[in-house]
Structure 1
Amino acid sequence: MQEVRLKFDKMEYKNLEEMTTALLNEANERIIRIDVGQIKNGKEERNYAKFRLMHLQRSYDGQVDECYRSIYNSLWSQVYRLEHQGNYTNPYLKTLLERLRTVK
């Protein structure tokens, strides 16, 4: 039987746990670097962390394993906080707000 190999961003992992640990650590490191000002709080920088978290969610079929869930949820909260600090507005909400402003 052939061993299952998991990939993300040109990296191969032996199992889901190894990939989960690596991606959570990478997302966390990026968030910390943004927080301490080593890199700017821009969309591309936040997306680095977001894509890792989204890949984990897909890898777990939408339900991240319970032993990682609190870390996973915490990292998402930090990403949302950074978006708020960076004055990010969801494009759909931005369109709705513009329409509301023009209707009087």
Structure 2
Amino acid sequence: MNLTLTEPALNKLTDIPPGHLVQLALDRGSCDIVNNVYEMKVIPSRELQAHERGIEYKGVTFIVDDDFEDAYDHELTIDFQKNAFVFKNKNQTFNNRVGLRFL
């Protein structure tokens, strides 16, 4: 999967404490196949489960489900605009109101 972050998004994620990562879990109960990530969760580092994999981008580590890339056509850009994260790729915007929650 090609995952990139814009400078505004990367700057916003610099608040993540050392030893933590960002979990991007799809909302399996959502009827909307496009807007199925509503928040990114900052969690303490842990071992990956069998259905997960890690993606690192400029020092930020993300945990995603194995089928995560299928939902985003194998390309996801995370931006930060108007006090929210925006999930998009070159073809469409998937969700423009993704929050960040520290657990």
Give the alignment's TM-score, normalised by structure 2.
Answer: 0.29
Structure number with the bigger relative contact order (C-alpha 8 A, sep ≥ 6) is: 2
Specify which structure has the higher proportion of strand. 2
Task: Report which of the two structures shows the higher radius of gyration computed on alpha carbons.
Answer: 1
Q: Compare the two structures and name the one with the higher helix fraction.
A: 1
